[in-house]
Chain A
Amino acid sequence: MKYWKSLEEYNNAEEKDNAHSPTEKRVKSVLKSDRRDFLKLFGFGVASAAVMASCERPVKKAIPLLIQPEEIRPGVSSFYASTYYNGGEAVPVLVKVRDGRPIKIEGNEQCQLTNGGTSAQVQASLLNLYDESRPKNPTFNGVEISWSDANRAIIEKLDSIPDEKDIIFLTHTIISPSIKLVIDKLAKKYPNIKVVILDSVSYSGLREAYREIVGVSAIPFYRFDKAKTIVSFGADFLGTWITPTAYTNQYVQNRKLQHSQQLSKHIQYESVLSLSGSNADDRYVIKPSEQHKYIRSLFNRIAELTNNPVLPRAGFEKEVENTAQLLVKSKSESLVVASSNNKDVQLVVFGINQMLGSMGTTISLDNELKLYQGRDTDIFSFAKNCEEGAVGAVVCYDSNPAYNLPSSINFKELIKDIKLTINITSQNDETNPFCQFVLPLNHYLESWNDYEVASGMYSLSQPTIHPIFNSKDIHQILLPWVGEQVKTHDFIKDYWISNIIDNQALENSFVTSWKRVLSNGVFYSEKKNNLKNKLLDTDLILNSVDESGGELEFQAYHSVALGDGKLANNPWLQELPDPVSKICWDNYFSVAPSLAQKNRWKQGDVIEIKGVRLPVCIQPGQHEDVIAAALGYGRTMLTPDPETIGKNVKHLLNNSSTGICYYASISNVKTTGITYELATTQMHHNMEGRALIRETSFNEYLKDAASGNEMHEIVEHHHTSLYKKHEFKGHHWAMFIDLNSCTGCNACVVACSAENNVPVVGRDEVRRSHEMHWLRIDRYYTQSPNDPSKISVVRQPVMCQHCDNAPCENVCPVAATNHSSEGINQMAYNRCIGTRYCNNNCPYKVRRFNWYDYTGADSIPFNRKDATGMTSDLKRLVLNPDVTVRAKGVIEKCSFCIQRIQEKKLEAKKLASHLKDGDIQTACQQACPAKAIIFGDINDPKSEVSQLIKDPRAYHLLEELHTLPSVGYLTKVRNVESHNSIKPKYKNHS
C-alpha cells in the first residue's frame, strides 16, 4: 500500500521506497560529483600534497666561498707530490685530489728510482685513509682524553722516569731526516731515550754483512738494470724483497726488446714459486736450508774459475756449474742476491759479487738504501732489558710490536710492568689494547713529512686532506713533549733549508727552490756516500752456518698483495689475487703436488702444523719437502664486522737470539679432515695448447723476431670480410702490453679498481666467481707439474679488448654497449637491462655483472651486499666522481679510462693544440712499475702504439676470431737455450 501525491512521486517510489525523503535526495546530489567537482578536488589534493611535502624539508643552503681558493676548482682535480712510506719500501707518488679529497695515487715520474711506477700496496694505501677503524682520539687506558691532557700526563710521566731506566722509542725504520731531528731533540731532554728499530721484515743479516765490509750497517744500491746475469737465491726482488717497485723498474730495462736487442738472464734458486721465480729464465728448486750450501758451492765454482781462494766444499758444485759459467762470462755485469737473513751467508754472497767485479757496477755503495735499518740483536736485547726491569717507558711509533715482534717474545708479558706505555699509531692495531696511551697518528696523506730513501735521494710528503679524525702527525705529537710549538711544515722547511737545499729564488721571487722541490716531490743532492768496501777475508766466513735442515721444512714468505700485513685492513688488497696462486682473502699452506699426493691432500684440505690450521693450496713449482705460508695474515679486519683473515704463521718459525730466520724444519703435520674453500679467481691453469700467450726463446728471436708469432701473419692474411671495414677518422685508441716486461705484480689491478670505482665483493662472492675486477692477470703453467724446476709460468693481463668487430655489441637487445667513433667499446649503464648476453658472447670473458647491489647505487632498500664495508659513508669518499657507480643488474667492464681520455681531449681543445702521444695515460698504464702497458692513438703515425703494431712480436688475443681487438700483446721472449714448448694449435676456420 503506497500513498502518493503526484505521478512523479509514484514513479520514483517504484524504484526506491523512501525516494520521497528530501534528505536522501540531498545526500544523493552531494555525493554525485561531476567533472568540475573532480577537477576541484583533484586540484586541491595536488596543491595540498605539494604544500605538505615541501614544508617538511629542512632548508640546506649551498654557500659559495667568498674567496675561492686558487687551487680548488669544483670538478677539477689537482695533483700533489707526496711519498708512500709505511715502514717498508718508499715510493714517491702524486696524489690526485678532487674537491678536497684524495681519490687516486699515481707514481711520481720525477723519481729516478721508480720512474713513476707504483705497487699494488701503494695504490691501495689510499683506502686506509678512509678506514673507520682508525683510532679517532687520544685515549688513556681506553678512555678518550684531549691531546693537551695526554701530553701533560705523558710529560709528567716521562719526567718521573729515573735516569738509569731507559725510555725505549720502538719504531719502524725512520728515514725521515726531520723526525730524526725531533728524536734528537727528545734525546737532549731525556738522555736515557733509546731508539730500537722494529721492522716488520728483517734485513738484519744483509746489513750486518755490510757492516763487516764497509764498517757501517748498510743496504747497498743494487742496479738490476745494469746486470746482464741476475742470480737470486730466494730473494723475491720483483715482489717483496726490499724495494720491489724500484727493482721491477730496473729489471725490465733489460727485458724490453722494442728498443734494444739485449735480454738479461735471470736465474732463480728458491723453494717456493715466487713472483720473481715465475719470471726467471732458469729456475732451480732447492730446500730453504740448502740455500747457504748452494751459495757456497757457487762461491767455490766462481773462485775456481777466477783463481780465488775457495771455501770448504758445500756439495752442490755440480748443480751450480751452469750458473757459475754464465756469471763469469758476464763478469762485472752480473748480480747475485740472496734472501737469507744470516750475516755469514750474505758475506758469501758479497764474496761472489766481489769476485765477479759487481761492486761499483751492479752494486753501488755510492748510494745506500736507508730502508730496513732494524737489527735483530737490538730487538732481543730490548726484550731482555724489559725483563730485567731496565726499561721505564716504551713509546711505540707505528711499529705494532704486538704483531711484529718475533714470536718468541710475548709483548703483553714484556710490557706489563712498564710504567709508561704509549702507542702512536694510525691503525687500530694489536698493540693498542696493551698500551696505556694510544695516540692517533695521521695517515701519510694527512701529514707533512720528508724522507731520505737512499743517500742523496730525498722526497717530501704533503697533506692532501685535513685530518679526518682527531689525529696528528708525528712531529706534532713529539714536539710538544720537548716544549716546542712549531708547525710541521715550518719545521721541515727550516730543516731542509738549513741542511738539504739552499732556498733561493729561481725564476722569480715566488718560485723558490723549496717550492720547486715541494711541487716535484723529490730532490737529488750531489751528496755521495763515500763507503769503501774492503776485500772479503774468507777466513771470516769459515765458521759459516752449517745447520742441516729437517726432512720437511717450513718456509715463510710475504705475499705480493699484503706484504708484511700492515695494510691487512684494506679490502682492495685482500681481494687482490696472489700473482702466483690466484687466491685471495686468505693465506694457506702451499705444498707441492707430489707432497699433496703422498699425503692424499686435496686443495682446501685443512692441515695443522704446531697448532696452526690452514687449508692446503697445491702449488706447482714448489720443493717437495717444503710447506710454505705467507706472513702478514691473522690480522683482524674491523669493518664491517670484525673478522680475522688468515692465520699468523709466525709461531712456526724458531728464533735464535742472533737473528730472525724465515724458515724452520717441521714435523708432525696433521690432517684434520676439515675442508675449507679457498677463494680463487682462476681455476684452470693450463693453456690447453692454445696460442693465447705466445713465447719464444731469445736465440730463436734473434734469428727471427716473429718467432713464436708465426700465426699472426697467417691470421692477418685471412682477415677478409664481406662487410666494409669501419673507418676511424679521428682518434683510434689502442693499447699494447709487452708480455716480456710484465712481471704480474698486480699494481695495475688495484689502480684500475681505484680509478674506476670497481666494487669489492668479498670472499664468499669470489668463491662464487663473482669478482668484479675489470683487469685481471691470467696465469698459466707450462711444462709438467711433476718437475718443479722445469715448470714455467706465463702471465697475461686481460681487460676489455675493445674489439672493432665486437661480439658483445651486436647481441645486446637494447644497444647498451656500442662502439665509439674512436674505436672504444662503450657501456651505457643507464641503458643496460642486464641480460648478460654480451658477457656470454665475449670470448675474453672480461665483462662483469653486478650480481647484487654491491655499491649501494640501487634504489631498492635493504638489498645491499657489502661484505667488506666499502659502501660506508667514509669509504665512499674514495670514489672517483668522474666514473659512474654501477647499480645492481648492469654489466660493466674496462672503458680504456674513457674519463681520462675525455679530460685530456678537452684540455687540448681548450688550448687549441693537438694531443701528444703519452698525454693520456690509463690508470693501469700509469701504475705499472715495468711500463709494460702502452696506450695511444693508432691513427697517429708517430705514436708508440702505431709503431708497436708493426712489431713482429705483436699479436692480438684470439685474433683468429676476427674480433679485431684494439688491445695487442708482444710475445714473451725467454732467455733460454731452446724453446721446447709444443707449437700451439690455432686453426679456426678451414
Chain B
Amino acid sequence: MYISPIREPLVTGSKSYKQVTDDITKPMDGKPGRLWFVGLGLALLALMLGGVAIFVTVWDGIGSWGLNRTIGWGWGITNFVWWVGIGHAGTFISAILLLFRQKWRTSINRSAEAMTIFAVMCAGLFPLLHMGRLPLGFFVFPYPNTRDLWVNFNSPLLWDVFAISTYFMVSLLFWYMGLIPDIATIRDRLKRSFKKKVYAVLSFGWTGSARHWARHESMSLILAGLAAPLVLSVHSIVSMDFATSVIPGWHTTIFPPYFVAGAVFSGFAMVLTLMIITRKALNLQNYITVGHVESMNKVIIATGSIVGIAYITELFMAWYSGVVYERFAFVNRAFGPYWWAYWIMMTCNVITPQLFWFKKIRRNLAATFIISIFVNIGMWFERFVIIVTSLHRDFLPSSWAMYSPTWVEVGVYLGTFGLFFTLFFLFIRFFPVVAIAEVKSVLRSSGENFVRKGVENEK
C-alpha cells in the first residue's frame, strides 16, 4: 500500500510488534508506582465526599441543594449534561472515525471509550439523585404493573432514560469487544496465576484464529454502525429536555446540533487533558504522538467554531423573533446577574480554541493542555448558563430568584470526579490504555519505519 511520505507516522520509534506489546503493557507489570497510589487515594477521597453528599441528598431531601421554587435544576443537571457530553468523544472516535477509516484513532480510542463509559456512569448519577423520591425512580420504566400505570412518552426526560441507557450499553459492548484481543494478549503473557485465570475468563477464549478475527471485525463494524447514530441521538435527546419546553432560552430548535457539536467539543478536550498526562506518565509518547494531539485539536477547532456560531445564531434569533421574553433572556444572560458565567463560557468556548488555527499552538502540548482545560470549564459553564440563567428570570418577574450551590451539590460533583478517576486509575492498571491489536494493525502502514521506507523508495 502506498503511503505518502509527507504523512506523519502514527507510531514513532520504529517499533516491532513485540515492542508495541511490551511498551503498552508495561504499566500493568510489577507493583504500581507511588504516583498511582496517590492518584487513586485522592480519587477515593473525592468519592467518599461524594458518598456523604449523596447520603445527605437522599436522606434530608433536595432541600440540601441550593435549588428553589424558581430554579428547579442547577448544578445537578448541569453536571449531568456536562458528563454526558464528555462521554461523546469516545464514541465519536471509535465509531465515527472507524467508519471513516481514520487510522489515527487506534492510539486513542481505547482510553477515550473507557472515558465514555466512566463519564456516562457519572452522568447517570445526576438524573437519579435530582429526583425528590429516588426509591421510586423505577417508575420511569414502562414495566407491566397491576395498577395500569404507564409512563409518559411525551416527556423528553423519559427519552433520556432510554437514550442514556442504550448509549451506555452499546458503548460498554463496543469497548469490551475491542478489549478482547488485548485481554487475550495479556493472558498469554502472564505466568500461571490467579490473574491469568481472570484474564482467561475475560478474554472469552480468544485464540486469535482467523475466524475469531473475522467475527471480531464484523462485530466491531456492526457496533460502530449502532454507535454512530447514538453519538448524534444521545445529546440531541438531552438537548430536547430544554428545547421542548416553553422557557425562553430553552425553547430553541437549534439545540440538537448545537449540543452534539458541543459534546464532541468537550469530549475531545477531556480526552486531550487526560491523554497529555497519561502518555507522559505511562511513557506512551511513541503511540500518542504530537500528530495525534494535532488531529484532535483540529476536531476541537471545528466543533468549537460550530458551537460559537450556535451562540451567535441564538442571539440573532432572539433579536429577530421580536419576542420580549426571548430577547430579555439573552440580554439577561450576557448582562444580567450571571454575566460572568456567560462571559466565561464565551471566552473558553469561542475565543481560546481559535488559537488552534496556529500550527505552533496546535502542536504545543502545554498550550493544548491549558486550552483543553479551558474548554472543559467553558462547556460546564455553557450548561450552567443554559439551565440557571434561563430559569432564574423567566416570564413572571415576581418569581425571579437567584441560585448558588450548597456544599452538598459541590460534594456530589466532586464525588463524580472521584468515581471517574477511581475507575480510570483502575483501568490504566488492569487494561491496556492503547488498543494493542489495533495499533499493530496500522503499524505496517503508518509506523515510522514503514513511512521511512516509503520515503526511501521515493528517492
Contacts and interface: CB of A to CB of B under 8 A. Distances in A.
A600 interface: no
A25 B156 CA distance: 64
A841 B73 CA distance: 11
A837 B155 contact: yes
A144 B271 CA distance: 76
A831 B62 CA distance: 18
Given A832-B133, A833-B139, A843 B394 contact: yes
Interface string B392-423: 01111111111000000000000000000000
B75 to A, nearest CB: 14
B62 A851 contact: yes
A841 B246 CA distance: 6
Interface of B is mostly: loop
Counting chain A CB atoms within 10 Å of each CB, the highest count among B70, B127, B161 belongs to: B70
Contacts of A863: 59-61
Contact of B396 (A798, A848, A849): A798
A812 B60 contact: no
B72 interface: yes
A249 to B, nearest CB: 27
A907 to B, nearest CB: 29
A692 interface: yes
Nearest to B76: A836
A692 B351 CA distance: 39
A63 B158 CA distance: 49
A834 interface: yes
A889 B132 contact: yes
Interface stretch (B28-36, B301-309, B318-326, B371-379): B318-326
Contacts of B397: 684-688, 690, 692, 780
Contacts of B60: 852, 863, 865
B158 A813 contact: yes
A309 interface: no
B192 interface: no
B155 A852 contact: no
Contacts of A849: 62, 67, 69, 72, 132
B151 A814 contact: yes
B131 interface: yes
B47 to A, nearest CB: 24
Contacts of B399: 682, 844-845
B396 A836 contact: no
A836 B72 contact: yes
Nearest to B398: A778
Given A798-B398, A834-B132, A860-B59, A845 B151 contact: no
Interface of A is mostly: loop
A851 B64 CA distance: 8
Interface string A960-990: 0101000000000000000000000111111
B391 interface: yes
Interface residues of B, number: 55
A860 B158 CA distance: 27
Interface stretch (A267-275, A541-549, A769-777): A769-777
A793 to B, nearest CB: 13
Given A770-B63, A834-B133, A852-B61, A814 B394 contact: no
A850 B139 contact: no
Given A769-B69, A834-B132, A813 B152 contact: yes
A683 interface: yes
B396 A831 contact: no
Counting chain A CB atoms within 10 Å of each CB, the highest count among B132, B155, B325 belongs to: B132
A776 B68 contact: no
B156 A958 contact: no
A682 B399 CA distance: 6
Contacts of A839: 69, 72
B321 A888 contact: no
Given A813-B161, A865-B61, A843 B398 contact: no
Contact of B245 (A682, A688, A840): A840
Nearest to A692: B396
Interface string A854-872: 0000001001010000000
A845 B152 contact: no
A445 interface: no
Nearest to B321: A990
B334 interface: no
Contacts of B157: 811-813, 835, 837
A688 B248 CA distance: 15
Contact of A831 (B149, B154, B158, B322): B149
A844 B395 contact: yes
Given A692-B396, A769-B70, A843-B395, A890 B133 contact: yes
Given A814-B151, A865-B61, A833 B68 contact: no
A834 B131 contact: yes
A768 interface: yes
A239 B127 CA distance: 46
A776 B69 CA distance: 12
Contacts of B67: 836, 849, 851
Counting chain A CB atoms within 10 Å of each CB, the highest count among B60, B70, B394 belongs to: B60
A815 interface: yes
Contacts of B72: 836-837, 839-840, 849
A473 interface: no
Contacts of A832: 132-133
B37 interface: no
Contacts of A771: 69
Contacts of B151: 813-815
B149 A810 contact: no
Contact of B398 (A684, A865, A958, A987): A684
Contact of B391 (A687, A840, A957): A840
Contacts of A688: 328, 397
Interface in A34-71: none
Interface string B261-278: 000000000000000000
A953 interface: no
A172 interface: no
Contacts of A815: 149-152, 155
A768 B64 CA distance: 11
A769 B161 CA distance: 30
A989 B323 contact: yes
Interface string B211-231: 000000000000000000000
Nearest to B132: A834
A780 B244 CA distance: 30
A223 interface: no
Interface in B116-161: 127, 130-134, 136-137, 139-140, 149-152, 154-158, 161
A844 B397 CA distance: 10
21 contacts: A682-B399, A686-B397, A690-B324, A778-B398, A813-B140, A832-B133, A833-B140, A836-B62, A836-B72, A840-B245, A841-B245, A841-B247, A849-B132, A850-B132, A851-B62, A863-B60, A865-B63, A889-B62, A961-B395, A963-B246, A988-B323
A-B complex: 3 closest residue pairs judged by Cβ atoms: A834-B132, A889-B132, A851-B63
Given A844-B396, A849-B69, A989-B323, 20 more contacts: A682-B398, A690-B325, A770-B68, A770-B69, A776-B398, A780-B397, A807-B246, A813-B139, A835-B127, A836-B67, A836-B73, A837-B241, A840-B391, A845-B395, A845-B396, A845-B399, A863-B59, A889-B132, A890-B132, A987-B323
Interface of B: 59-63, 66-70, 72-73, 127, 130-134, 136-137, 139-140, 149-152, 154-158, 161, 241, 244-247, 320-325, 328, 391, 393-402
